[in-house]
Amino acid sequence: MREWVTEALHGDFKTSFRVNKVLFDNQTEHQNLVIYENEIYGRVMALDGVTQITERDEFIYHEMLAHLPIFAHGSVKKVLIVGGGDGGMLEEVLKHKGVENVTMVELDHTVIELSKKHLPMVCGDAFEDPRLDLVIKDGCLFMKECREQYDLIIVDSTDPIGPGEVLFTDNFYTDCKSCLADNGILVTQNGVPFQQADELKSTMTFFKPIFAETTCYMATIPTYVGGPMAFGWGTNRVGLKDTSLEELQDRFTASGIVTKYYTPEVHKAAFALPGYVQKLVA
């Protein structure tokens, strides 16, 4: 590997990380996987040349995709995570004592094994939790065959290229909807809308016919450059995104969970969308 690794996800815009040490660089059954160390971001994992996670700021992404919908809902017991092989999302979800079962569906078992080996600071001992039901399978196929009902579905996917492309289709979202409990929530990662406007616009277009309440919320994650990142939000329980600050504070305090980014105030602010994102959502 070269001294610098360059990501060209956005075509006319590139980002580069200096590589201090390579921990793994090889082809898995499904994709090229690289884990290396960087002075600023710590350990970094990339799939097919696209940065997925860094040790330094992973907490922002994982806290906002996990804690925000759980605290908004108020009584999540059964969770489905599609993707998330690094285990960071799983670890955050399992911090909630009220969560009784988590099904995690990951395509690439090698990502899980290498994350446990090289990214223990991200996943902790989440993969050993007895509440976990780990399924190694294509997420799209799993959803099509699924007959379970979940309070929360988190789509912690890669970008809509390669293996992750099928997780951004209308059929996939419809299958997710059919597996949600009556008051359930679907949240998705939808990239950086300043750079990937079509990704968010497409998801919102697919959400609108199947959910009573559709929007996105946002968080700023240094690794994903080009502006704040968007997370899709779909539910048939209208008003969940407007859960009061007082209620969120009560639930957060009662949970005893310590966070580094998420707060009830940040939760509320995350739904305040800038004008250019409002147009994409509308």
CA distance 116 to 238: 38
Among the listed residues 48, 86, 108, 156, the single catalytic one is 156
Contact by Cβ (8 Å): 225, 192? yes
Contact by Cβ (8 Å): 116, 123? yes
Please enumerate, as own/partner, the contacts of 258-263 that have beta carbons within 8 Å and a separation of 24 or more. 259/59, 259/63, 259/67, 260/59, 260/60, 260/63, 261/59, 261/60, 261/63, 261/64, 261/219, 262/63, 262/64, 262/67, 262/68
CA distance 96 to 198: 34
Which residues make beta-bridge pairs with 279?
none
Longest dimension (CA), the chain: 51
Q: Is 156 designated active site?
A: yes
CA distance 34 to 54: 12
Contact by Cβ (8 Å): 263, 252? yes
CA distance 54 to 78: 28
Active site residues: 156
